């Protein structure tokens, strides 16, 4: 197994320090280091945050109808691979020889190692890559078409639609496929109190709060010196309004965060703005995909219509 690092741990730590100086912390910093990746694995297995496990269940149920739609032989690349459980399930369901090479890509070097370890027993050539989704144009030079490009684990919803859909579309060739999943709002409940309560229950749980604050706690912030806050807002997109989470960490006392060997001073009342997660309905996802030039090969909704798995190709002509 090979491993390529397009970004080093020191570079990530320095980037985190610079962001914290601006009172910002994009969500990819949540996965840094052994503690960050373990916090994510703990969250994904928690009953308090069932999003990850239910998306895995949907993939398992969809494999018999999904795999016949894939090319006879292809490379597979998974961006934001996490621990690699979904990718392992997919690889194990395929006949030997269908995968040319599997690329496990994540910003966390530790998660890349875990993802490679998860498929150690499969007869597939494997390469781990430490990189951002933003590195996709560079990553694209590593694999050969046809490729199955995977964006699983609700990763799609952590980016602005203009950015993510255009970025992926531009990297797909005529024979390439795009596999995504996402956690949805029910069509009739996209702005209802019940939907809001379900999101708050999962995203404001103790487990998710611990995950979102762990990078700062690991770097010297005391739990009692901060407060994690989340609210649902209405975001304007090119195709209309969508529901989106807004996250922040409020600093309650003067403190310091140690990052990359240097100290970042925080004052009581400071607010660190974090990332977001879009909460689309199924029809909003479909409208976005069509608008940005994708066509459906498979479209699978869970029975409760709260989770989606879609296999797509770029529209041509």
Query: Does 81 map to a domain?
Result: yes
Share of the chain above pLDDT 90, in %: 77
The 3-state secondary structure of 94-112 reads: CCCCCEEEEEEEECCHHHH
Looking at the DSSP assignment, which residues form a beta bridge with residue 215? none
DSSP secondary structure string, 130-171? Answer: E--GGGHHHHTTTS-SSEEEEE-TTGGGGS-HHHHHHHHHHT
Burial class (CB in 10 A: 0-12, 13-18, 19+), 197: exposed
Query: Does 243 map to a domain?
Result: no
pLDDT, position 49: 83
Residues near 16 by Cβ (< 8 Å), separated by ≥ 6?
Answer: 25, 29, 32, 215, 259, 260
The region of weakest confidence among 124-128, 131-135, 258-262, 273-277 is 258-262
Query: Does 309 map to a domain?
Result: yes
Query: Does 105 map to a domain?
Result: yes
Q: Could you tell me whether strands 278-279 and 240-251 are parallel, antiparallel, or unpaired per DSSP bridges?
A: antiparallel
Check residues 210 and 194 and name the one with the higher pLDDT.
210
Both tokens of 97, joined, read 């020889």
Check residues 46 and 129 and name the one with the higher pLDDT.
129
Query: Does 296 map to a domain?
Result: yes
List, for residues 58-86, the tens digit of each pLDDT value: 999 999 999 999 999 999 999 999 999 99
List, for residues 247-291, the tens digit of each pLDDT value: 999 999 999 999 988 999 999 999 999 999 999 999 999 999 999
State pTM to two decimals.
Answer: 0.93
Give dist(CA 184, CA 307) in Å, integer: 5
pLDDT, position 22: 98
- Enclosing domain of residue 165: 51-187+281-314
Average pLDDT, the chain: 92
Check whether 231 has a pLDDT greater than 70: yes
What is the helix (H) or strand (E) element at residue 284, kind and residue range? helix 282-291
Check whether 191 has a pLDDT greater than 70: no
Query: Does 298 map to a domain?
Result: yes
Query: Does 233 map to a domain?
Result: no
Give dist(CA 40, CA 42) in Å, integer: 5
Virtual torsion, Cα 53, 27, 233, 273, nearest 10 deg: 150
Check whether 30 has a pLDDT greater than 50: yes
**Cβ atoms within 10 A of the Cβ of 59, count?**
22
Check whether 192 has a pLDDT greater than 80: no
pLDDT, position 190: 45
Q: How confident is the model at residue 300 (pLDDT cuts 50, 70, 90)?
A: very high
The region of weakest confidence among 197-206, 216-225, 307-316 is 197-206
Give dist(CA 120, CA 313) in Å, integer: 29
**CB of 279 closer than 8 Å to CB of 183:** yes
Domain total in the chain: 1
**Segments of 164-268 assigned E as strands:** 177-183, 226-237, 240-251, 255-259, 262-266
Q: What is the CATH number of the domain that holds 117?
A: 3.40.50.150
pLDDT, position 8: 92
Check whether 189 has a pLDDT greater than 60: no
**CB of 147 closer than 8 Å to CB of 77:** yes
The region of weakest confidence among 101-105, 185-189, 223-227 is 185-189
Check whether 203 has a pLDDT greater than 70: yes
pLDDT, position 207: 85
Q: Average of pLDDT values for 152-160? A: 95
Query: Does 173 map to a domain?
Result: yes
């Amino acid at each position: 197994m090979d491993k390529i690092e397009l970004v080093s741990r020191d570079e990530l730590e320095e980037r985190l320090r610079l962001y914290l100086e601006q009172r910002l912390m994009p969500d990819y910093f949540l996965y840094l280091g052994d503690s960050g990746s373990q916090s994510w694995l703990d969250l994904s297995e928690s009953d308090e945050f069932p999003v990850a496990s239910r998306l895995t269940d949907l993939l398992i149920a969809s494999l018999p109808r999904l795999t016949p739609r894939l090319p006879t032989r292809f490379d597979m690349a998974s961006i934001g691979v996490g621990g690699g459980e979904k990718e392992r399930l997919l690889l194990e369901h395929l006949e030997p020889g269908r995968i040319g090479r599997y690329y496990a890509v994540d910003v966390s070097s530790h998660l890349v190692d875990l993802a490679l370890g998860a498929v150690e027993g499969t007869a597939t050539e494997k390469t781990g890559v430490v990189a951002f989704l933003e590195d996709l144009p560079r990553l694209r030079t590593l694999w050969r078409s046809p490729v199955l490009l995977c964006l699983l684990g609700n990763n799609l919803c952590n980016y602005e639609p203009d950015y993510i859909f255009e970025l992926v579309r531009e990297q797909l060739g005529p024979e390439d496929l795009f596999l995504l999943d996402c956690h949805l709002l029910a069509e009739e409940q996209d702005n209802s109190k019940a939907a809001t309560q379900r999101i708050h229950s999962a995203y404001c749980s103790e487990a998710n709060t611990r995950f979102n604050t762990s990078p700062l706690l690991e770097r010297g912030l005391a739990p009692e010196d901060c407060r994690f806050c989340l609210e649902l807002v209405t975001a304007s997109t090119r195709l209309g309004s969508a529901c989106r989470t807004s996250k922040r960490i409020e600093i309650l006392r003067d403190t310091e965060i140690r990052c990359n060997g240097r100290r970042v001073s925080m004052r009581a009342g400071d607010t660190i703005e974090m990332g977001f997660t879009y909460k689309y309905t199924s029809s909003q996802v479909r409208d976005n995909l069509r608008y940005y030039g994708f066509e459906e090969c498979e479209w699978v909704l869970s029975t409760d219509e709260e989770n989606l798995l879609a296999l797509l190709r770029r529209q041509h002509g």
